[in-house]
Structure 1
């Protein structure tokens, strides 16, 4: 059986990725703070199993993934993929005015959780015959400094370096595992709504993001997810350590 674990499936890109994988007969395990009844009730070739978890909480995150791993080890696995999509964009604010609790939550979800999960994941399947695929969702913000996005850009840059390093390790160890980055660029999501609601004193480029919406430049999440899912469904074409972008297609 084919399985994929996807974080952040309550809405947005994560929900679209899960749905398209299920349509392709992949069984999806989704994680999010909230449920997604549409996915749970979907009549698709692939099944959906949901775990409610707050990735801010590392103890909860660890226990949840230990439970997922225990479940998966009882399944006749043909392939296993992990898509780490969940992320926060807030706090959008200049340094010196940030709420420490929000900043801590941001780093936990965007960077620490993917590191903790990857560590558990690679250890759990170390002695199996599976060749794992891990896709981490990045952003163009990792490669440029944007006023007010000091946290977001930094955590995405950290995720990029972490992904690159894990890829180097897996290559050296000759595990056959592949870990990649995928940049979805700008999409029509709730996160974009949060960005547009920022005050110009917090985020100087806010008008540009408002224009993306009014000028219909935001891609639908299904369109973006299709680019990644088509890649995931053709595992032989995936190159360990590669950076893939929706812009490669559009």
Structure 2
């Protein structure tokens, strides 16, 4: 029987890449996204891998939707893995121009929802014997410079500390909670923005991270990662776990 992974925000971008990467390693996938068409398209691609797949159109911030996500995984014999990938900036305007409801919704999406889903999968994952939770954070939660969406940066920083705070769950619940904090990922929209930047702007920003590199780190953590690990990924560098030295890649 296939092991089952929940991937939120799997309709596009990094979430889609992670979902397909997991399917390629014979995981059944719960494809979660608010965009039903995008979720359906991703599920269709995964079906070709001959693994179990189910799409769930859901807003991860809504408790009843979170319950439906976990129920779908249970019906397929899981969950064994949860990837908290769904996230994003506040639409239209950012703190302090955004209203309290607007920026709070962003914190809910990027921090509260992953906490809620992680809590919901604890019991069923423990029933399977062991499991892994991967939180997708961002360099925005690590850096100390000015940032365009303070609420997003604060939530991503909270997600990192949430991860490290739960390192003991590997012993108490049989669940390893880990985190990846990448810099700018070379997805389609980022590539379009990159193409419009000057040479000086590109040099200051650093190279884009290939999405496949992020997927590879996620898969490695699921296979063998140590609970509480936070892997920082900077363009041009090898992935850096918090307990290891940073080293430059040869590329």
Counterpart Cα distance in 2 of 1:92 and 1:113:
21
Partners of 1:13 and 1:222 within 8 A in 2: no
Pair 1:70-2:68 in alignment: no
- The Cα of 1:26 is off from its aligned counterpart by 0.9
Give the match's secondary structure for 2:20. helix
Partners of 1:97 and 1:111 in 2: how far apart?
21
Gaps of 5+ in 2: 240-248
What is the alpha-carbon distance in structure 2 between the residues aligned to residue 131 and residue 125 of structure 1? 6
CA distance in 2, matches of 1:52, 1:32: 5
Q: 1:120 to 1:238 in 2, by over 3 A?
A: same
Question: 1 or 2 for the larger relative contact order (CA 8 Å, sep ≥6)?
Answer: 1
Residue 143 of structure 1 corresponds to which residue in structure 2? 142
Residues 22 and 69 (structure 1), Cα distance of their counterparts in 2 relative to 1, 3 Å cut: same
Measured at CA, do residues 123 and 210 of structure 1 come closer, stay the same or move farther in structure 2, by a change above 3 Å?
farther
Corresponding residue number in structure 2 for 1:18: 19
- Measured after TM superposition, the shift of residue 129 of structure 1 is 4.3
State how far apart, in whole Å, the 2-side matches of 1:165 and 1:222 are: 28
Deviations 1:15-47 (A, max 9, x none): 000111111111110111112344222211323
1:91/1:151 contact within 8 Å kept: no
Instruction: Calculate the TM-score normalised by the size of structure 2.
Output: 0.77
Q: Which runs of 5+ in 1 are unaligned?
A: 197-206
The answer to whether the 8 Å contact 1:92/1:149 transfers is no
**Equivalent pairs, count:** 229
TM-score between both structures, scaled by the size of structure 1 = 0.77
* 3-state DSSP of counterpart to 2:133: strand
| 4+ aligned runs moved over 6 Å, structure 1 | 193-196, 207-210
Paired with 2:50 and 2:27, the residues of 1 have a C-alpha distance of 7
The change in CA–CA distance for 1:147 and 1:125 in structure 2 (over 3 A counts) is closer
In 1, Cα distance between equivalents of 2:69 and 2:179: 23
